[in-house]
Amino acid sequence: MNRNYKMKKTISVKQFVEEFGETFSEYIKKRLLELEVRSVLTRKEHACVLDIRHVEHLQHEVPCEDNEEVCTKENTFGQFIVTDGKLYFSESCIENDNVMKSHIVSEIYSSLDSDEMICYEGINAKLIDDRNIDYIINAILAECPEVSQSYLDIMSEMNLRAKSKSQRISFT
């Protein structure tokens, strides 16, 4: 299998909508963008399979597999798959020594009564449409923590610097 080394491994929800959302309904795009402040999307070898993570990559203490020690892991709140211009919610997402699947993923997946399902590279997924997008986004937002004030301060400062820089460039 050839790897795409130029593919961005982490993208914002806004970048996701720009990259894949051409055929999404305006309502789906609007609801997806509500995840922008709190989440970021990560991908490995497939550009169209993206895990939903908290933008600050918060770590939680959980029992290790040997149940004798405590490990720290980041939650992932779902996985989107885009194929043939359609958006799907996966039954799984990345899980490894550093990342664990939030319980909300299974709850969302089992609650979806979509007639259209796919199996992409061995991953089962159900179609996201205007009828179920509200439930999916609301469930993710209920589980995904708010961002910290320090993160908001950093982002505000970055936006101010970017605006200042663009104003200097446009007046010269």
Mean pLDDT of the chain: 88
Could you tell me the residue ranges of all domains in the chain? 10-146
Between residues 95 and 3, the one the model is more confident about: 95
Which bin fits 5, alpha (ψ -120 to 50), beta or left (φ > 0)? alpha
Between residues 26 and 56, the one the model is more confident about: 26
Please determine, for residue 131, whether its predicted confidence score (pLDDT) is greater than 90.
yes
CB-based burial, 80-102: b 16+ in 10 Å, e otherwise: bbbeeebbbbbbbbbeeeebbbb
Tokens of 95: 């899980």
Neighbours of 16 (CB within 10 A): 24
**1-15, 20-34, 91-105, 107-121: segment of lowest average pLDDT:** 1-15
Task: pLDDT band for 96, please (50, 70, 90 cuts).
Answer: confident
Amino acid 22: pLDDT: 95
Amino acid 115: pLDDT: 83
**5-9, 88-92, 105-109, 130-134: segment of lowest average pLDDT:** 5-9
Q: What is the CA radius of gyration of the chain?
A: 18
Amino acid 150: pLDDT: 85
Amino acid 1: pLDDT: 45
Please determine, for residue 59, whether its predicted confidence score (pLDDT) is greater than 80.
no
Between residues 3 and 16, the one the model is more confident about: 16
- Cα–Cα distance measured from residue 109 to residue 91, given in angstroms and rounded to the nearest whole number: 6
HEC assignment per residue over the chain = CCCCCCCCCEECHHHHHHHHHHHCCHHHHHHHHCCCCCEEEECCCCCCEEEEEECCCCEEEEECCCCCCEEEEEEEEEEEEEECCEEEEECCCCCCCCEEECHHHHHHHHHCCCCCEEEECCEEEEECCCCCHHHHHHHHHHHCCCCCHHHHHHHHHHHHHHHHHHHHHHHC
Between residues 136 and 167, the one the model is more confident about: 136
Calculate mean pLDDT across residues 121-141. 96
